[in-house]
């Protein structure tokens, strides 16, 4: 699930990416070495960095937040679609397993009746076939193949495991990005390079697959500590993001249709597809 710490880490990552587009082994594009991180700087480390010309860029969230209305119904959104590495091939009254084993659901439908086995990490193709044959009446297995009673109607399916999230709450918070330098010219140079780039970011992808919406508010100099050789520029951004819940979801491989009488409410027929 995403929270304000994820937002701060992602914005800090943006700063690093803008300053070092070719990697940190190359000179900073901002004109000075950059050290960026969420939270306030440690005084001793900051003092050492300022003396050596390293500009610190710190990020923290401001007190308070504003609640924003969530999506109607709070629907689930798929973030990772199921990967299918197993196969189940039907030939006559035989189902043959193939592919690479990973946790997936395997279905054999015999004459309209579903039998499902969940493959385990320790399984092999042969053990999956053996497990299925133990579930299906009258079935037997030989290696990766399952033999079913002659004359049967046979369907085989494989369903993977994906992930999805849904929005629990949505809020707007303000974050402050502070540029700390040992000279005003150095501070202004780095800030003038990074602020337009950060202000141009509208949508921020978070680790759970949701997006935060970021907007520029203002920036200002803070020279209250210039007698100690410290010059600061503060950039204020508003970020609207969702707190989410994430879970694994199994692909549907055994759908069922219920036909109901609209007047009586009684079930007319139930059919497995």
Residue 84 has which token pair?
């299918």
pTM: predicted TM-score of the whole model, two decimal places: 0.67
Ranges for all domains in the chain classified under CATH 3.30.2000.10: 4-72+168-242
Residue 136 has which token pair?
């299906």
pLDDT of residue 271: 63
DSSP codes, 188-244: HHHHHHHHHHHHT--EEE-TTS-EEEEEEEEEEEE-TTGGGT-EEEEEEEEEEEEEE
Residue 221 has which token pair?
């100099």
Residues 6+ apart with CB under 8 A from 198: 11, 14, 15, 18, 177, 216, 235, 237
- In whole angstroms, give the CA distance from residue 105 to residue 158: 6
Provide the residue-wise pLDDT of the chain in tens; the chain has 273 residues: 678 999 999 999 999 999 999 998 899 999 899 999 999 999 999 999 999 999 999 999 999 888 877 667 678 878 888 888 999 999 999 999 999 999 999 999 999 889 999 999 999 999 999 999 999 999 999 999 999 999 889 999 999 988 888 888 888 999 999 999 999 999 999 999 999 999 999 999 988 888 899 999 999 998 877 767 899 999 999 999 988 888 888 888 877 777 776 777 777 666 666
Angle at 71 between CA 68 and CA 75, to 5 degrees: 145
- In whole angstroms, give the CA distance from residue 266 to residue 56: 69
Q: Which of 59, 60, 45, 55 is nearest to 20 (CA)?
A: 55
261 three-state secondary structure = coil
Question: What is the distance of C-alpha 248 from the center of its chain?
Answer: 12
CATH 3.30.2000.10: does it fit domain 4-72+168-242? Answer: yes
pLDDT of residue 63: 92
Torsional sign, CA 197, 221, 12, 172: negative
End-to-end Cα, the chain, rounded Å: 35
pLDDT of residue 168: 83
Residue 142 has which token pair?
């030989």
For helices 184-199 and 4-19, the axis angle rounded to 10 degrees is: 110
In this structure, are residues 221 and 190 in contact, taking their beta carbons and an 8 Å threshold? Answer: no
Q: Which of 116, 60, 68 is nearest to 253 (CA)?
A: 116
């Amino acid at each position: 699930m995403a929270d304000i710490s994820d937002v701060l880490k992602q914005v800090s990552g943006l700063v690093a990416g803008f300053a070092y587009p070719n990697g940190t082994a190359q000179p900073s594009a901002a004109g000075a070495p950059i050290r960026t991180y969420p939270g306030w700087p440690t005084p001793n480390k900051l003092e050492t960095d300022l003396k050596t010309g390293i500009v610190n860029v710190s990020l923290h969230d401001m007190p308070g937040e504003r609640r924003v209305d969530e999506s109607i119904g709070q629907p689930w959104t798929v973030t990772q679609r199921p990967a299918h590495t197993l196969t189940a091939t039907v030939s006559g009254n035989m189902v043959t397993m193939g592919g690479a084993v990973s946790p997936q659901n395997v279905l054999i439908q015999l004459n309209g009746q579903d039998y499902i086995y969940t493959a385990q990490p320790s399984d092999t193709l042969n053990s999956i076939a053996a497990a299925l044959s133990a579930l299906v009446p009258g079935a037997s297995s030989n290696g990766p193949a399952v033999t079913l009673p002659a004359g049967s109607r046979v369907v085989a399916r494989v369903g993977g495991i994906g992930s999805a999230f849904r929005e629990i709450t949505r809020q707007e918070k303000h974050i402050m990005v502070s540029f700390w330098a040992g000279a005003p010219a150095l501070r202004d140079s780095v800030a003038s390079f990074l602020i337009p780039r950060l202000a141009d970011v509208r949508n921020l992808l978070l680790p759970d697959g949701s997006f935060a919406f970021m907007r520029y508010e203002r920036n200002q100099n803070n020279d209250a500590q210039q007698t100690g050789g410290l010059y600061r520029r503060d950039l204020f951004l508003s970020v609207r993001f969702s707190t989410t819940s994430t879970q694994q979801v199994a692909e549907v491989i055994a759908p069922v249709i219920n036909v109901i009488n609209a007047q009586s409410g009684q079930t007319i027929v139930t059919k497995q597809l």
